[in-house]
Each structure stands twice: as C-alpha cells, then as structure tokens.
C-alpha cells in the first residue's frame, strides 16, 4: 500500500538551473501570487479539484486539502546561470512579462543572483556567458555544485530542496551502455573527465541526489533518463522526473491524438512546425541541440496511435518508423520572441479511406505555459519525497513531453493526456491516504 505523505516542516528551497525566460516567469509569478497581485493560472496544484471517496462519501477537493503540499509562502529561490544577470534583469531581458507585473517584486528578484554555472560550451555553442565554474573535471563540477547546494541550505535556512532544470537544451547525448547503465561506470567517467558522455546536466542531477534533493529535468536532455541515475535515485530514495515540459504543441498533440484514436479514424501524416525567437529558439537553431528536442517531440504520437495495433488506421503512411508520416520542425525567428506560433497539419482519413485535413494554429506564449508546470513539478516532487516515493515518478508524466520509462525492460511510456491525468489523480489520492481508483468523474 502506498504511503501517505508526511507534513512539510520548514521552508522549501527551489534551486533552478538556468535563470532565463521560463525560470524568471515562474519565480516572478510565485512572488506576485504571494502578494495577491497575480493568479497562478494553469497550475493544477493551485486550482484542480479531485474526487476522493465514493457514493455518499464523495467529495471534490483541491490538492492542498488532500495532501500536505508546501505553501507558496514557504518557497525560497536560488539559481545558476551562464550569464550574471540577476532575476530582475533577466526577467526584463526575457520580455515575457510586462514591467507592471515585475516591478512590485523587483527587490526580491534582484536578490536572486545566479551562482556560477557548471557549463561546457560544447553542449550549447550559441551561449557565451562568463558566469561559469572553473572545473577541471566533471567530478570537480559535481563537487562544486554540491557545495552550492549545501551553502544555499545553510544561508537560507530551508529544510528541503528541489532542483529543477530550466536551462537550455544540451546537445543530444546518445545513450552509451558502458557509461550510462551503471552508477559506478558513470562515476568513473566523471572522475576520468569523459566530457563526451557526461553532460553538465548530469553533474547537476548527480549533485542534487547526493545532497538529498529530488531532480526534475524540464528540457529534453537524457540526464536522469539513464539507468545509472535510476540506480542513484533508488540508492538515495529520492524522486526524479523528466523529460521536457509539455507546454504548447505537444500538449495539443497529446490531447488531440486521442480524439482520432478514440473514434477509430485513420492517420496518414502529422506535420508540426514552430516559429519562435527567444534564447531557447536560438539554442535550438543549432542542429545538435534541435536533435534532442526532435527525439522528445516525436515520441508523443507513436504511443497513442500505434501502427502495430491498428494497421488499417495507422499503417498507411510513408514513414519507415511510424508508418504514418510524422515531422516536427522548429524555426528560429527573432521577431516573435517568446510568443511562439505552432502550426499542425493533420492528414486524417475516414469511412472507406476518404481523406480529410485538420489545421491547428496555436499562438502561444512559451514561458506563460511552462511556469505553472514548474510550480506543479516542484511541489509534487517535494510531496513525493515526503511520501517515500523514489525513482522515476510516472505520475508526473502529465506535465512532460517525453516521460521517463524503463526502456531496458521495453516499458512503453504513457503519452495519452487523459491516461496521464488518471495517473496523476491516483497518486494524489494515494499520497492523501485514499484509495486509487479509475471511476469516471
């Protein structure tokens, strides 16, 4: 039987890797909400209500009335970044929020000065900031990050820490069984400074887990999605989650594909393209960085509309891997800044194979969509740790584009948004001491 989560004691430290558009929008929003000057729209932990109990005992409660979530007033922030700008300057630079939504918390934001980043330019060539640690080896990087975490804990007086990666997408690191499968091999590679197989993000994750903090990967990096990190999470009894915030186009995809699948319509092809102009877009304009994102974005559809299960419906395209043709493109286009535009063209077919098309044009705001996910992922992984949950937190798949799963055992990830929602609700029920169930509500 699952454990009920213990009540939090003291403050929660949220240490964010990357102090860019997403992080500053998240931090500013939390601070403004605390002052009663903004609403945390889009956050499940702040708004959603779940049914608990059945029949006459049935009640719909907010998460905080089911489980002991940390209060927004008890959060203290810290961050690392390659650039030295503090959170106030960085929020202005990002141009996501209007000044009127930043100024009231200016003093608090100025205090968040980024710690030096554990960074390697080969992992993000388009960045050239100098607020970077001088580390001789990857192991040295780990030691320095661990020290940062310990110092923050001491100076801020927080009781618990969660580390969230909201930094740029690193270049694609293919999984190498000799390095990434066993913890001792990964540690050896860090000590031998194997810079090709050990990304800086792995150093942050390793350091976080060693210092008792859950780690969440918000970019598509493979960081904690390797067996060696699963082993470390098991050993330290801490939650990990990843990868890649499910915000715009993929949210639409994982909510829309079930319409096609549930009504047994056919699919010939799905073409997704995006234009965006923020720093994230700049980094993703580099082919090696885009590859990481592409792998993550492509994986969504294949586990929802499965050619092998329905060859008449999904085995008609011309893509060797997926049968139907699935393509994802991201184009860097500076005038749009953080206001990304995503187009989806979906070629479906119906009765007797007659073709039809669906077009979706989502004019979204990337960081506005990502900020509530940061809050939910942070609060729920802190909660999971207090409920004694450790390893990959599958119930957090709801928030992630490319949910972690045990590929060494051929586990298929759940990408279907509404199945993910059932997993989320059941985990909340269990951590609140209720029984998990799948009753329709």
Residues that bind ligand NAD (CB under 6 A): 17-23, 80-83, 94, 117-119, 124, 127, 129, 166-169, 200, 218-219, 244-245, 247-248, 278-280, 366-367, 369-370
Longest dimension (CA), the chain: 68
For the bound state, the minimum distance from the C-beta of residue 220 to ligand NAD, rounded and expressed in Å, comes to 7
Residue number with CB closer to ligand NAD (185 or 280) = 280
Q: Which is nearer to ligand NAD, 127 or 149 (CB)?
A: 127
CB 257 within 8 A of CB 371: no
* Nearest to ligand NAD of 280, 382 (CB atom): 280
Angle at 249 between CA 243 and CA 251, to 5 degrees: 60
Which residue, 114 or 261, is less far from ligand NAD as judged by CB?
A: 114
* CB of residue 197 to ligand NAD, shortest distance in Å: 16
Least distance in Å: CB of 404 to ligand NAD?
15
Nearer to ligand NAD, 153 or 279 (CB): 279
Within 10 A of 107 (CB to CB), how many other CB atoms are there? 10
Nearest residue relative to ligand NAD (C-beta): 20
Residue 200 vs 403, nearer CB to ligand NAD: 200
In the complex, least distance from residue 378 CB atom to ligand NAD, rounded to whole angstroms: 14
Distance CA 246, CA 370 (A): 8
Q: Closest distance between ligand NAD and the C-beta of residue 249, in Å?
A: 9
Distance of CA 83 to the CA centre of its chain: 22
DSSP 61-109: EEGGGTS-PPPGGGEEEEEEESS---HHHHHHHHT-S-GGGTGGGHHHH
d(CA 308, CA 37): 51
Contact by Cβ (8 Å): 283, 275? no
Q: How far is the CB of 123 from ligand NAD (least distance, A)?
A: 7
Closest alpha carbon to 432 in 11, 54, 52, 43: 52
Cα three-residue angle 351-354-355, rounded to 5 degrees: 125
Six-digit token string for 294: 């592409």
Q: Which is nearer to ligand NAD, 43 or 323 (CB)?
A: 43
Closest approach of Cβ 128 to ligand NAD, in Å?
9
The two three-digit tokens of residue 141, written as one number: 């990087």
């Amino acid at each position: 039987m699952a454990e009920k989560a213990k009540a939090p004691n003291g403050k929660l430290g949220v240490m964010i890797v990357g102090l860019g558009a997403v992080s500053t929008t998240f931090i500013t929003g939390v601070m403004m909400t605390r002052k009663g000057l903004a609403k945390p729209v889009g956050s499940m932990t702040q708004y959603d209500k779940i049914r608990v109990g059945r029949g006459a005992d049935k009640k719909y409660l907010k998460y905080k009335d089911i489980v002991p979530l940390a209060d927004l007033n008890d959060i203290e922030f810290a961050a690392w970044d390659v650039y030295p700008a503090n959170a106030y300057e960085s929020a202005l630079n990002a141009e996501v929020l209007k000044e009127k939504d930043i100024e009231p918390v200016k003093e608090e934001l100025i205090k968040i000065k980024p710690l030096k980043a554990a960074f390697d330019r080969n992992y993000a060539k388009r960045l050239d900031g100098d607020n970077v640690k001088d580390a001789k080896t990857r192991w040295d990087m780990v030691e320095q990050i661990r020290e940062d975490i310990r110092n923050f804990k001491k100076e801020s007086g927080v009781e618990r820490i969660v580390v969230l990666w909201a930094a740029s997408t690193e270049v694609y690191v293919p999984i190498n069984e000799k390095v990434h499968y066993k913890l001792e091999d990964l540690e050896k590679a860090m000590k031998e400074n194997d810079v090709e197989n050990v990304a800086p993000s792995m150093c942050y994750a390793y350091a976080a887990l060693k210092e008792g903090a859950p780690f969440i990967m918000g970019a598509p990096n493979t960081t904690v999605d390797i067996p060696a990190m699963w082993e470390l999470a098991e050993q330290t009894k801490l939650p990990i989650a990843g990868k890649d915030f499910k915000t715009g186009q993929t949210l639409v995809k994982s909510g829309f594909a079930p319409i096609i699948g549930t009504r047994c319509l056919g699919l010939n092809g799905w073409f997704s393209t995006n234009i965006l102009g923020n720093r994230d877009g700049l980094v993703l304009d580099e082919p090696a960085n885009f590859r990481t994102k592409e792998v993550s974005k492509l994986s969504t559809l294949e586990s929802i509309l499965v050619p092998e299960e329905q060859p008449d419906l999904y085995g008609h395209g011309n893509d060797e891997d997926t049968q139907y043709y699935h393509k994802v493109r991201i184009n860097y286009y500076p005038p749009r800044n953080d206001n990304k535009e995503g187009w989806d063209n979906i070629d479906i077919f119906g009765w007797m194979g007659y073709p039809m098309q669906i077009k979706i044009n989502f004019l979204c705001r990337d960081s506005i969509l990502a900020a509530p996910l940061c809050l939910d992922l942070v609060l729920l992984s802190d909660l999971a740790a207090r409920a004694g949950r450790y390893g990959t937190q599958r119930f957090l798949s709801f928030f992630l584009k490319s949910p972690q799963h045990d590929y060494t055992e051929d586990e298929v990830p759940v990408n279907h948004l509404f199945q993910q929602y059932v997993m989320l609700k059941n985990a909340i029920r269990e951590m609140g001491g209720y029984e998990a169930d799948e009753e329709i509500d």
